[in-house]
A and B are shown apart, each in its own frame.
Chain A
Amino acid sequence: NAGVTQTPKFQVLKTGQSMTLQCAQDMNHEYMSWYRQDPGMGLRLIHYSVGAGITDQGEVPNGYNVSRSTTEDFPLRLLSAAPSQTSVYFCASSPRPPGPLNEKLFFGSGTQLSVL
């Protein structure tokens, strides 16, 4: 199993450009999520999905869109990139959503995004 795969690893955008960060997992996990990591602020939840066709907002959803058409894939779209979106983005998955059964998250290796 490859686990959680994120592409690209690095990306530079100009303000106003759009792009999609890809995330795929081969573990048949129901739950997938996107976090951004900024110095001193830790990991902040952007969006999450509890299954194909179901998505919801996290702590910092503005400026980002997601969809979940298959169990395996959970792309994150930046429609009009802003310098404030410069960050490292992590995709994570787990067999079931976080809850009383204490699911741990499996993370990808991240995408470092710079918006100029």
Chain B
Amino acid sequence: SQKIEQNSEALNIQEGKTATLTCNYTNYSPAYLQWYRQDPGRGPVFLLLIRENEKEKRKERLKVTFDTTLKQSLFHITASQPADSATYLCAAWMDSSYKLIFGSGTRLLVRP
């Protein structure tokens, strides 16, 4: 079956470093991947989208890459800040359906 996998272990980094989160997909080729941020007790909020024909997309301190050979997307936050601490979710559109399927998310902790 189609799956999206994210590292379930929390990522703990020092303020100022670059955080890198991984999203892997199996058994299909999504037309695009979306990344969302979720804070405790809140719903996810959309951050970025990258299409299969785009290698990289940037927005301020955020960068997303899409490697169709490795079946993987990487999400980078440069110059990380404690305010970036949250859970980050990856989502993919299932081609020819009306469904957006999510990974389980990776929790990021940025230490001051």
Contact = CB atoms under 8 A, between A and B. Distances in A.
Interface of A: 4, 31, 33, 35, 40-45, 48, 50, 56, 58-59, 90, 92, 97-100, 102, 104-110
A76 B84 CA distance: 33
Given A42-B104, A107-B45, A109-B41, 8 more contacts: A33-B100, A42-B4, A42-B102, A59-B101, A92-B43, A100-B31, A102-B34, A105-B44
Interface in B58-106: 89, 91, 93, 97-105
Interface residues of B, number: 27
Nearest to B45: A107
Contact of A58 (B6, B49, B99): B99
A48 B99 contact: yes
A15 B4 CA distance: 32
